[in-house]
Amino acid sequence: MKILMAASEAYPYCKTGGLGDVTGALSQIFAEDEKNEVVLFIPRYKTLNLGSFSPKSVPGSFVVPVNGKHKRVSLSKASRGRLSVYFVDNKQYFNRDGVYRDSYGDFGDNDERFIFFSRAVLEGAKFIDFKPDIVHCHDWQTGLVPAYLKTVYSSDAFYTFASSVLTVHNIAYQGIFPADAMNKAGISFADFTADKFEFYGNMNFLKAGLVYADRITTVSPSYAEEIKNRYGFGYRLEGLLRARSNVLSGVLNGIDSGIWNPADDPFLKKKYCAKNFRAGKEANKTALQKELGLTQDKNKILAGIVSRMDYQKGLDIILRTATEFSDKIQFVVLGSGDEWLSEGFRLLAAQYPQRFSFSRNFDEPLAHRIYAASDIFLMPSRFEPCGLSQMIAMRYGALPVVTNTGGLRDTVTKDKNGFVIDGAEDDKMRSVLGHIVSMYKWKETWGNMVSDAMGGDYSWSRSSKSYMDIYGRLIEEKNRMAF
């Protein structure tokens, strides 16, 4: 089958969070199957990590209409095994520092940037003559693609047999812009209604995708339920999601077990596997304590955090409770994002440099070292669509401490492969950290939990099969309708 993936980020070229991990891994996995032909489109940001990949310019260029003007698109192409990656280039939109924002906040022209990208994907597929069976889009940045297919492109023969899938990685981010974005997108104002593009007086890109996509998936079964039925979780799209529940399902993300493998991780001081984790984790812990200037003591519990600094992640709870445990637990935090959270961790690290460490940046190698060195990994999210970090932590034998929500609920089992609290609240965190401090001494029980966590299957194989089933059914339906 011919699969076109459209996303605003994909690892290893560009990643700001789990979205990039997932789109990068899925495209690669689908492409490995010889029955598939897979093409991935992502923007050619200035900050792209091209490493050893050298994309070749695709000869020629084409234009797409944005805001009543013709904007030029040039493509470059890189191959990763059987996967073809097309980078969509336009200097005005993508040649700047930052992917979605700079230090002052979101870029003011994000509507135009992703209108441009969505149109460029649909025209780009024609340009390279790739007629897809499936167009798989991700999050609000590509939410307009399914909408274009059912409006502007509805009678375009090139896409007659294409079905669209939209995956919601985080419904809190919807791409909401003033109504004028309809004009910029070239979509008729007749469709600016509450059942289509309009959302409380604005245009909502994610909503457009949810209305028009043939299938909607989200990244865990529990999150699929929560966004329909739990108050506040659907960010005012609960009604629409309930109306479309016949085409909505949750497919749990996996992690790339090639990249996240403590037995073969080039960033670690000592590689280890489930059989010899004690020595491996100890060596990595001591090395990290030394690297970050923490007291070097293997008996201290090391708690890791690798996260976006965002209210969603519940990290303010750690800020308020951590000092009560800092004689027993060292806290190592890596993250970037909201100023108030970063400032809180910076102050803790400045006040107690041997017990707290805070690195305020995006640092892939350090993230690997933290997962490997940590005994526990803190992720008390207020909501969590899937969460990859808790799975990575388990693979590295760091027991996750999580709330009972979304993908955390679907991957962590209380006192088996991690610790679960039933709400992002200070007292619940206090109580679980107290429990952990006493449990850490029971080496055998702790070891059993670590073995359990490390032995879990977090790979993509199960999930990629679910996506293939979804694609297969869509193609069948299209064929039935056509003949």
Query: Interface with ligand ADP by CB under 6 A: which residues?
Result: 17-19, 21, 306-308, 334-336, 362-364, 367, 386-389, 392
The CB-of-395 to ligand ADP minimum distance in angstroms stands at 11
Dihedral sign computed on CA atoms, order 45, 85, 126, 483: negative
What amino acid is encoded at 121 in this protein? Answer: V
The CB-of-61 to ligand ADP minimum distance in angstroms stands at 33
> Could you give the CA distance from residue 197 to residue 203 in angstroms, rounded to a whole number?
6
Phi/psi for 272 (5° steps) reads -155, 165
Name which of 55 and 143 has its Cβ closer to ligand ADP: 143
What amino acid is encoded at 160 in this protein? Answer: T
Q: CB burial class (10 A; 0-12, 13-18, 19+) of residue 394?
A: buried
Name which of 288 and 334 has its Cβ closer to ligand ADP: 334
Name which of 21 and 226 has its Cβ closer to ligand ADP: 21
Q: Residue number with the shortest CB distance to ligand ADP?
A: 18
Name which of 235 and 362 has its Cβ closer to ligand ADP: 362
Name which of 67 and 342 has its Cβ closer to ligand ADP: 342
The CB-of-151 to ligand ADP minimum distance in angstroms stands at 30
The CB-of-370 to ligand ADP minimum distance in angstroms stands at 9
The CB-of-311 to ligand ADP minimum distance in angstroms stands at 12
Name which of 338 and 363 has its Cβ closer to ligand ADP: 363
The CB-of-276 to ligand ADP minimum distance in angstroms stands at 24
The CB-of-100 to ligand ADP minimum distance in angstroms stands at 13
Which residues face 166 on adjacent strands?
Answer: 137, 216
> Could you give the CA distance from residue 26 to residue 33 in angstroms, rounded to a whole number?
11
Q: Can you give the length of the chain in residues?
A: 483
> Could you give the CA distance from residue 342 to residue 348 in angstroms, rounded to a whole number?
10
What amino acid is encoded at 238 in this protein? Answer: E
CB 382 within 8 A of CB 215: no
Name which of 211 and 341 has its Cβ closer to ligand ADP: 341
Question: CA-CA-CA-CA torsion for 464, 466, 472, 477, nearest 10 degrees?
Answer: -140
CB 328 within 8 A of CB 304: no
